[in-house]
Amino acid sequence: MSSSKRSISQCFKNEFHGTDAYTRHKKLIADYVQYYRLKQPDKTPSIYKTELDILHENHKFVREDTDNGSTWEQRVAKKYYDALFKEYAICELKHYKEGKIALRWRIEREVVSGKGQFICASTRCDSTEGLKSWEVNFGYIEDGEKKNELVKVRLCPGCSDKLNYKTKMKLAKTLKTAEKEKKMKRRKRSGKSNSDKEEESSSSRGSSSDSFDYEEEKNFVPKTEQSIWSQPLEKKEEKSKEEEYEDYFADLLQ
């Protein structure tokens, strides 16, 4: 046995002298990991998709029974779709004033708790009083195509007003426009009646003046030359200068 091997064995004896087996095991494993074990390469790819990403890409709001999926991703989405409960829907009313309402089917936990059937279906409400069922014509875009589906939703009175906010605003606008049109028609009718009355009055006035002129023509007696020359000459009264000045200033003030 060489001197180098003796020195190594002596070091091990001195280091582990008086220690139990578990302590020696931990020390040897730590030395092995630190000095001898090589680092395993990281096999995780830099770009990868989770199951949630696959569901986002391949999920459909309504699937046909014959649609089983041709790829693994579509089959995963179909399996998730089959686990949903499609009697009532859960709705998101955050942007109800813009007419944007999101709907989704219920999961098992929500069915057990009664959410969406015995509790208000809004994600921001847990009311259980005065629930009312609504059948919503849900329009959505899927795979670049506009689709529509009738969906049942149960909501409390406050959330029901939010759901129908856009339709109520449209109805109020149509009623306002109808009232304006009625007022315009009434004004036109009243204007026409007033103009007709004015025409009637003017025509009656014209007829009376015509009759008056006709009567004057009847009573008019033409003057002969002898009657004209037989009448005395009309004398014009001469005005004084003061009266002429008064008449001049009166004409200016008029």
206: pLDDT strictly greater than 70 = no
For 48-91, write each residue's pLDDT tens digit.
888 899 998 998 999 888 887 788 889 999 999 999 999 999 99
For 81-118, write each residue's pLDDT tens digit.
999 999 999 999 999 998 899 999 999 999 999 999 99
Round to whole Å and give the CA distance between 126 and 28.
Answer: 60
Task: Give the pLDDT confidence score for residue 67 in this predicted structure.
Answer: 81
Round to whole Å and give the CA distance between 55 and 76.
Answer: 7
What's at 114, amino acid-wise? G
Whether 92 and 102 have beta carbons less than 8 Å apart is answered as yes
- Dihedral over alpha carbons 177, 181, 187, 191 (to 10 degrees): 150
pTM: 0.54
Q: How many CB atoms lie within 10 A of CB 106?
A: 20
Of 5 and 128, the one with more pLDDT: 128
Task: Give the pLDDT confidence score for residue 32 in this predicted structure.
Answer: 83
Whether 91 and 123 have beta carbons less than 8 Å apart is answered as yes
Task: Give the pLDDT confidence score for residue 212 in this predicted structure.
Answer: 45
DSSP-derived secondary structure letter, 113: H
